[in-house]
Every structure is written in structure tokens, then in C-alpha cells.
Amino acid sequence: MAFGAIFVPNFTVQAVLRSEPELGVRPLALIDGPPPTYRVVALNHLAALLGVTVGMTKAAATQFPGVEIRPIAKVQEVAAHSALLDVAWSFSPRVENTAPDTVLADLSGLTTLLGSYENIATIVVSKCSEVGLTVQVAVSANVETARVVARALPGATVIPQGHEAKYLETLPITMLSLSQELSEVFERWGVKTCKALASLPVISLSECVGQEGVRLHAIASGKGMRSLVISELAHSFEESLELDDAVEELEPLSFLLGRLLDQLCVRFVARSLAIRAIHLQFELEPAFEDAFDSASEFVRTRQLPGAYACTLELPVPSRDSKLLLKLVRLRLQSTLPKAPIQKIHLTAEPAHTRVMQGGLFVPEVPDPEKLELTIARIANVVGENNVGSPQLQDSHRPDSFRMQRFSVSPTPSPALETKSETKIAFRAYRPPVLAKIKLRGARPIHADFLGRSGDVINASGPWRTSGDWWEDDPWQQDAWDLELAFPYETPPAQGLYRICFDSRQKKWFVQGAYD
């Protein structure tokens, strides 16, 4: 049995650098606390070299030139921790969520898949770097030993069974996560290393400091063993970014969204899942606009909504960050919020990756991801509601259909049907065109519409239909099929049209033409 511990050193700073890697080349200090007494709680090595220390006030830290001072970002810490868990779950289903910066995993059985434990540890380090985290990994038969060594030693460490005490002996006892009280006690006793703690008599130790001391003694000896507290597999994938300077334009926003989508997609790849839908939420800066109040006939200033949300659903689950960014951009092009954006929050719904089996004799169909992009681009041109596939509704109302989302499903090629007669088609006028009809008795003899004047050559009708009388908008019409001649046009023309008399509006309309 073997356990792996993954520890993220300087977790608070790494969480920020994961979202903003460009800060890594500058001295960075993170502050926290109630205003105005902000204090430095974390910093990177460049800031430490300049002389910034943990606990320093914000005012003192600003004295150092070139230091980037940022508040800590809890949302980014949550996202970084989720990414760490995703990497652990990609290796083992038994994962313990020990601390925000530490996870433990059961690595039993992985050697048959990935080789030696050294190889496994190296792969874990590599996978964590793909999600933007630099980690320290330790593998041991003893879970507590692995946890402690991962906190202390950089890189990947594999502890041979039976040698746990040897790896622990030189480590300071602060690596054992002592309480403040115990830490002071051990300091008074002069116990500074795990070896010193392990050499203390157990019975005396328990009498002085209680069972906690016994537990620490076992850990320091490399004998402390416990079971993992398995955490549930998370199904939420969220990434957030708080901006110091609010963003208004689409281009810089796209850059930030691209970064968040890259991080999301890497996490999905680690979990062998794909994205089914993306929920975008923006927190906006307070903004106002002038609006004309028709009731009072004055121009009033009203506040714009402080939040923006939209959902992008994919017909086929995908984890291509470039494709997702293009789709999000196309969506935002037409619906960009009017106020500057302060905070971005992305949530992705997971789905299993699609498995497609192509056929030898199936005709070529558009690639689903490319098709989605094409449809999104066309929707930007004609409007989202004007592109899709028509679905007829179960109604006798004329022109009764709705537009539904278009998707492709590969199906085997059926046998072609032979037709004995080709049916005539109809071209609808939407909306129906108002017409002036002259009647002789009850029959149309002349029609004027769209600036044209036609004589009726042949007529078929009236065909009376009505429906939905139990609804709020019933319909009732008398329809005619007319063959019209337009003798006064150059050249003279003829055509077959359908007109109807709307009995409710008491008007004639041209519904369309046969073609």
C-alpha cells in the first residue's frame, strides 16, 4: 500500500499567480485584514529578497519600490484547490481533502499502469504544473509520513518502506502542524526536530501533554498510521477572476476569458470529462444611463443592472478551449454588458466525452464543433431566433411551426424513395400582405397588392377554416387559390397565389405564391 501527498507551497501566492502568471516576474505581496490595518500575509521570493516580510503593514510594504500589492483572492484560492483535487482524482478515486494546500491520495495499484512510484510522483508534479500549480509530492507507505515530508522537501520524494524515521529525523517539528500551545511547550523543552521528539519516552509525554503528544510522537517516529477520509468527487467546475481595473471592451475581456477557459479545460481533461454548458456571470461596476420616461416625458437617469449572466449550451460536449472562447465571443458580441466588468465567474457543467463511430457508407456531415461555430456566426448576422431547424407544431393554424436548435445525428443511409409526381411548393409571405380584392358576387375578380394589379383568370375556393376558438387568439379565414394575370406589367406576367379573407379582421391578405 502506498500513499501520495501533494502539497502546494505558498498556496495563497500560487492561487493568484495561477490566474495572473505575469505577476510572477515581479515582487508580489498579498495583504489581508480589516481596513485600514492591512497586513502582508503572503509574498513571493522576489518580494522577500527586497525585504518585505509577513506581518508587515501595507503602508510599510508600499515603501519598497516595484512591489505589487494585492488583496488575497479567496475565489482564486477555491479554484486552485479545486484544480488540485481534480489532478488527484485523475490518479486515484480515493482522495482526502486534507487542507486547502494539501491533498492525500491512495496510490495502490497504480504501479501496474504508470510504473514505479518515482515515475508516478514525477507525473503528478507534471500534471499539477499543467493546471498552474508548482507542488511538492511525497510517496510513502505511511500516510502521515508522506504528508509531513511533502510539506518539507521540494520536488518529488519516494520514501522506501521502513525508512520513514530516517526521512523525518532532521525535519523541524513545525512540519507536524502543532497547535500553538504544544509548540511553546516543545520550544521550552528544546525539542526542535522530529528525531528529538521521537526520542522522548511515550508514557512521560502522554502524562505531560496528553494524547496529542502521543500522536505526534508516533508521526515523528514514522509509525503514525490512519485511514484516509475519502472526500466526495466534486462535480462543480468554477473559475473566477476579480479585476483591479474594470474591463469594458471585448478584446481584453476575451483575453481574460481565454485564460479562465484554458484552466477549466485542463481540469476537464484531467478528469476525462467534457463541457456541456458554460454559465457566465459578470459583476459590473455601478453605472447609469439616460432613459426617456414616456409617462412624464422627461429624460431620467436610471441605474444599470449590477450583474450580467448568460449561458452557452453546446450541442456536443467539448473541451477545446479555443472553440469555447470563439463561441463565448460570438455570444458576447451582440450582448456585451453596458457597464465595466469587475469580476468574472465561469461555471462549467460536466458531461461524458462523446464517442462517435463513423460509418463507411454514411454521407459526410458537418463536424459538430465546426457547425456550432458556423451557426453562432450566422446567428450574429441574422439573429439567434432565425437560424435552426423548423419543427411543425400539432395545430391546424396556418404557418404553425417553431424554430429549434439544429444538431446533427449521424444515421445510416436509408433507401431512396422514387416519386411518381413532384409536388408543387408554396412560398409564404411573412407577414401576409394586405390586398384589395374586387368581387363579383362572392368571387374575386381582381386583386391589388404590393403595387401590382392582377385580373383573376381562375379561382378555387372559398375554403373555410377556423380554429383555436377556445384560445385568446382564434383564427378564421376563407382561402382562395387564384391564377392572376398582370397584363399591365412589362412583360405581362402571370402567377398562382393564395389569398384569404380574415373573418375577424375583415381584411384580405395574400398568404403567398405557388412556385
Binding residues among 323-382 for other proteins as defined by CB under 8 A: 362-367, 370-371, 373-375, 377-378, 381-382
Distance CA 86, CA 46 (A): 30
Sole binder of other proteins in the list 255, 288, 401, 488 (CB under 8 A): 401
* 455-494: contacts with other proteins (CB under 8 A): 455-460, 463, 465, 479, 481, 483, 485, 493-494
Nearer to other proteins, 52 or 499 (CB): 499
| CA-wise closest residue to 435 among 417, 420, 456 | 456
Q: Does 421 bind other proteins (CB under 8 A)?
A: yes
Phi and psi at residue 204, to the nearest 5°: -65, -40
Site size for other proteins, by CB under 8 A? 72
Least distance CB 6 / other proteins (angstroms):
43
Least distance CB 386 / other proteins (angstroms):
4
Q: Which stretch binds other proteins (CB under 8 A): 75-83, 104-112, 174-182, 395-403?
A: 395-403
Distance CA 414, CA 13 (A): 60
Q: Which stretch binds other proteins (CB under 8 A): 24-32, 219-227, 286-294, 398-406?
A: 398-406
| CA-wise closest residue to 501 among 463, 470, 468 | 463
User: What residues have CB less than 8 Å from 407, skipping those under 6 apart?
Assistant: 315, 316, 368
Nearer to other proteins, 320 or 481 (CB): 481
Q: Does 320 bind other proteins (CB under 8 A)?
A: no
Q: Does 109 bind other proteins (CB under 8 A)?
A: no
Grid coordinates of 453: 394589379
Sole binder of other proteins in the list 422, 470, 472, 490 (CB under 8 A): 422
**What amino acid is encoded at 103 in this protein?**
V
Q: Does 199 bind other proteins (CB under 8 A)?
A: no
Q: Does 172 bind other proteins (CB under 8 A)?
A: no
Nearer to other proteins, 472 or 515 (CB): 515
Q: Which stretch binds other proteins (CB under 8 A): 63-71, 72-80, 242-250, 426-434?
A: 426-434
Grid coordinates of 355: 464517442
Q: Which stretch binds other proteins (CB under 8 A): 153-161, 179-187, 262-270, 408-416?
A: 408-416
Exposed, middle or buried by CB within 10 Å (0-12, 13-18, 19+), for 401?
Answer: exposed
Residue 433, beta-bridge partner list: 510
Grid coordinates of 365: 456531415
Q: Which stretch binds other proteins (CB under 8 A): 31-39, 130-138, 159-167, 407-415?
A: 407-415
Least distance CB 387 / other proteins (angstroms):
5
Q: Does 394 bind other proteins (CB under 8 A)?
A: no
* 429-458: contacts with other proteins (CB under 8 A): 429-430, 440, 443, 445, 455-458
> Given the DSSP bridges, would you call strands 136-140 and 156-158 parallel, antiparallel or unpaired?
parallel
CA–CA–CA angle 106, 108, 113 (5° rounding)? 120
| Residue 187: how many other CB atoms lie within 10 Å | 12
Grid coordinates of 86: 481534480
Distance CA 222, CA 144 (A): 8
Nearer to other proteins, 45 or 427 (CB): 427
DSSP state letter for 215: H
Phi and psi at residue 416, to the nearest 5°: -75, 140
Nearer to other proteins, 294 or 422 (CB): 422
Would you say 124 and 4 are in contact if contact means Cβ atoms under 8 Å apart? yes
Q: Which stretch binds other proteins (CB under 8 A): 52-60, 130-138, 178-186, 422-430?
A: 422-430
